Amino acid sequence: MAAHPDDLEFSCAGTLALWARQGTKVIYLICTSGEAGFDQPNLSREERIAIREAEQRAAAEVLGVNQVVFLREPDGLLQPNLELRRKIVREIRRFQPEAVVCWDPAVLWISDSMVNHPDHRAAAQATVDAVFPSAGLLYLHEDFLAEGLKPWKPDRLVIVRFDGGDTFMDIEETIELKIAAMKKHKSQIKEWDPEPFIRKVAERQGRAGGMKYAEAFKIIQLHKPLV
C-alpha cells in the first residue's frame, strides 16, 4: 500500500519480492498514479497517468507481484480523509490480506536531506486507520456487505522504517530485483542510477539487523492478546 508508483520499490521491494518468491500473493494498492511527478511541459494528465502506471506495472512484474490496483486519487493532493479510508477498507475486504504493508504516517523527515512527501503520510495514515478498526467492524460500511465484502481483520500491520525498526528482512537474494524494479521508473529516475543508493540503505539496515542487505520494519500484531 503506497501513495505513488515507485514508493514500494524505493522502500520494501526486496521483501515483497522475497514473499512473492516464497509463494505469497502480493497485491499493490497505489493511491495516486503519480501524475504530478513530471517536469516536462505539454503532457496531458492522461498521458502522465499512463506512463507512471505502465512503469509501476513493469516494476511489479519484475518483483513477481500478482496484481496492481490504482485508486487514482489526485497526486500531490492526497488527504487522509474518510473517503480515502473507505476506499482502502473496500480493498482490504476484497483481498483479505494477512498483512498490510505501508509507510509510517508519523515520519516527517526520512533523512537529513529528505522530507517525507505529504501524500506518503496521508496514504499511510488512511491505511493504518482502515486496517484498524474500520476494515474489521461489522457495523461500519455496512453497505459493503451487499457487495459480498465482509469485515476483515488483517493479522499484521507491517510499517516500513528508514531507520530503527524491530524486524529486519534479509534481502540479499532479492536486492537485484529491487534495483531492477526501481529502474523501471524511468520517468522518475531519469539519468540517476538508483543502485548505489539502494545498496547503501540496504547495507545500513543490514548492519542493524546483522545481515548483508536488509529492509527494516515495525510490525504490529493485530491479533496478539494485550497481556
Return phi, psi of residue 141, to 5°.
Answer: 55, 50
Query: What is the closest distance, in whole angstroms, from the C-beta atom of residue 61 to Zn ion in the complex?
Result: 20
Which C-beta is closer to Zn ion: that of 7 or that of 215?
7
Q: Does residue 156 bind Zn ion (CB under 5 A)? A: no
Question: Judged by CB under 5 A, does residue 7 bind Zn ion?
Answer: yes
Q: Which residues contact 154 (CB under 8 A, 6 or more apart)?
A: 92, 97, 98, 99, 100, 131, 135, 222
Nearer to Zn ion, 56 or 134 (CB): 56
Instruction: Report the DSSP pairing between strands 167-170 and 214-221.
Output: antiparallel
- In 3-state terms the chain splits into helix, strand, coil percentages (rounded to 5) of 45, 20, 40
Assess 52 for contact with Zn ion (CB under 5 A).
Answer: no
4 binds Zn ion (CB under 5 A): yes
Nearest approach, Cβ of residue 103 and Zn ion (Å): 9
CB of 119 to Zn ion, least distance (A): 6
- Strands, DSSP E only, in 74-213? 99-102, 109-111, 114-115, 156-161, 167-170
CB of 89 to Zn ion, least distance (A): 22
Omega within 30 of 0 (cis) for the link into 133:
yes
CA dist 15 and 103 (Å) reads 14
**Min CB(37)–Zn ion separation in Å:** 8
Q: How many residues bind Zn ion (CB under 5 A)?
A: 2
Q: Choose the stretch contacting Zn ion; rule: CB under 5 A; options: 7-15, 67-75, 135-143, 178-186.
A: 7-15
Restricted to residues 160-219, the positions that interact with Zn ion (CB under 5 A) are: none
9 binds Zn ion (CB under 5 A): no
The residue among 14 and 37 lying less far from Zn ion, judged by its C-beta, is: 37
Q: Are 131 and 92 in contact (CB under 8 A)?
A: yes
Instruction: Choose one: 2-10, 85-93, 154-162, 169-177; the region binding Zn ion (CB under 5 A).
Output: 2-10
Dig out the grid coordinates for 134 from the structure: 474500520
DSSP class of 121: H
Q: Shortest approach of Zn ion to residue 88 CB, angstroms?
A: 17
Q: How far apart are CA 220 and CA 208, in angstroms?
A: 20
Among the residue ranges 4-12, 15-23, 57-65, 83-91, the one whose residues contact Zn ion (CB under 5 A): 4-12
> Which residues lie near Zn ion (CB under 5 A)?
4, 7
